[in-house]
Copies of this chain bind each other. A is one copy, B any other.
Amino acid sequence: MSKITIAIDAMSGDRGVDVVVPASLRIIEEYPNLRLILVGDRSTVLSTLAKYKAGESDQIKVHHASEVVAMDELPSQALRYKKDSSMRVALNLVKEGAADACVSAGNTGALMATARFVLKTIPGIDRPAILTTFPSRNEYGRVRVLDLGANVDSSAHVLFQFAVMGSVLTSAMDSIAAPKVALLNIGAEEIKGNEQVKETARLLSESKTINYIGFAEGDDIFKGIADVIVCDGFVGNVALKAIEGLARYIGTVIKEAFKSNIFSKLAALCSYFVMKSIKKRLDPSRYNGASLLGLRGIVIKSHGGTTVRGFETAIKHAMDEVKHNVPELIKTEVERAFSKEHVSLKQKVLRKLSDLL
């Protein structure tokens, strides 16, 4: 396999170098063809490497960047004033072709804004989207959902582009010929959904390139009815956070129950291995790594509070996108979709109007 080079934003995330460096050292052991460029304050990165009795090597290089984007920094501020941040310099390396992808555990808004500014969007894609993976009961054991918060008030035209991008990525990375694509909607309404969803459903039904299977409701995410679920970033972000919140809440309830008295503590001891296997199956670090899709380059956003193992998963995810050259696949598919799709005059006018507004 040919060599893969990934630029790693070494300074961002809740624990910065303390997670990024050990994750990097572990993953290069596993993949000898992988090279990592750790971007950040040279002396901090080197001294952290030294803690693990490591230094620069064939597989690990350090690239200096003097600044760090704070986790709560406004995207516009980061874009304007942090031109030598580890995040921005890592993205520049992708832009210049020195790296095949970038992985960052930094502030989502700043990463998206900077990536969009540095890399630009693929022709035909109006707005990039954030895609992540959830466990699901389909045969692949997972479902990919987008957008998770890059855009709000997405038009039908933009939601349609998300469907194309999600379908292309899933097809390549999960080797599914025609991934089942569903549109997130609600069930209680007479004529289901809001205006954008209804219009998107029309566009998807007419599409010859997307295997559109219809609407999905919130609980369908885990049921495995679809391989890709498309939604507006507002809805997707609320759902993602609600899911994270419930998972944490259930975790706390279980922990408290097993710690409540001597008998429950004994029960905890007895069920140690079962609980460990449950924890492993539900471990969020197994799904860490969201794709910023629609850019002219591969950018993976790791959860800010992830573990070493979780950051490794994000790097693996980046490697997978590099192997499949996802941005190129999206570019080709967008060209194909928009030339082959039957685009009526009315749709063209509507699209122009939505672009102008």
Interfacial residues, chain A to chain B (CB-CB below 8 A): 74-76, 108-109, 112-113, 130, 135, 137, 149-150, 152-153, 184, 186-190, 193-195, 197, 217-223, 231, 233-235, 237-250, 253-254, 257-258, 260, 263-264, 266-268, 270-274, 277-278, 281-282
Inter-chain contact B222/A245, CB cutoff 8 Å: yes
Given A234-B194, A278-B254 in contact, is the A149-B263 Cβ separation under 8 Å?
no
Residues of B within 8 A of A149 (CB): 186-189
The docked-state distance in angstroms from the alpha carbon of A113 to that of B112 is 42
**By the criterion CB–CB under 8 Å, are B249 and A278 in contact?**
no
With A188-B109, A194-B153 as contacts: A239 and B238 at CB distance below 8 Å: yes
Shortest CB distance A294–B (Å): 15
Complex-state Cα separation, A112 to B266, whole angstroms: 49
Query: Which single residue of chain B is at the shortest CB-CB distance from A109?
Result: B188
- A245-B273 in contact (CB<8A): no
List chain B residues, Cβ under 8 A from A247.
246, 250
Q: In the assembly, how many copies of this chain are there? A: 2
Most buried by B among A75, A241, A254, A263: A241
Q: A208 → chain B, closest Cβ, in Å?
A: 28
Nearest Cβ on chain B to A348's Cβ, whole angstroms: 25
Q: What is the distance, in angstroms, from A266's C-beta to the closest C-beta of chain B?
A: 7
Instruction: Considering the complex, give the chain B residue whose CB is closest to the CB of A149.
Output: B188
Given A222-B246, A245-B223, A237 contacting B267 (CB threshold 8 A): no
> Does A237 lie within 8 Å of B186, measured CB to CB?
yes
Q: Which residues of B contact A250 (CB under 8 A)?
A: 247, 250, 282
Interface centre among A108, A245, A258 (most CB of B within 10 A): A245
Which B residues touch A271, using CB under 8 A? 258, 264, 267-268, 270-271
Give complex CA distance A147, B316 in Å.
40
Q: Given A152-B194, A190-B74, A273-B267, does the pair A253, B278 have CB atoms closer than 8 Å?
A: yes
Chain B residue numbers with a CB within 8 Å of A270 are 266-267, 270-271
Of all A-B residue pairs in the complex, the 3 with the closest CB atoms, nearest first, are: A218-B241, A219-B245, A270-B270
A-B contact pairs, 15 of them (CB 8 A): A109-B190, A112-B188, A135-B249, A153-B195, A186-B237, A189-B233, A217-B238, A218-B237, A219-B244, A220-B245, A221-B246, A222-B249, A257-B277, A257-B281, A267-B271
- A240 and B254 contact, CB distance less than 8 A: no
Q: Which residues of B contact A253 (CB under 8 A)?
A: 278, 281-282
* A184-B238, A238-B186, A278-B253 known; A245-B266 Cβ under 8 A: no
How far apart sit A82 and B150, CA to CA, in the bound complex (Å)?
Answer: 45
Asked if A244 contacts B218 (CB within 8 A), the reply is yes
Task: Tell me how far the C-beta of A320 lies from the nearest C-beta in chain B, rounded to whole angstroms.
Answer: 24
B217 lies within 8 A of A241 (CB): yes
Chain B nearest Cβ from A124, distance in angstroms: 24
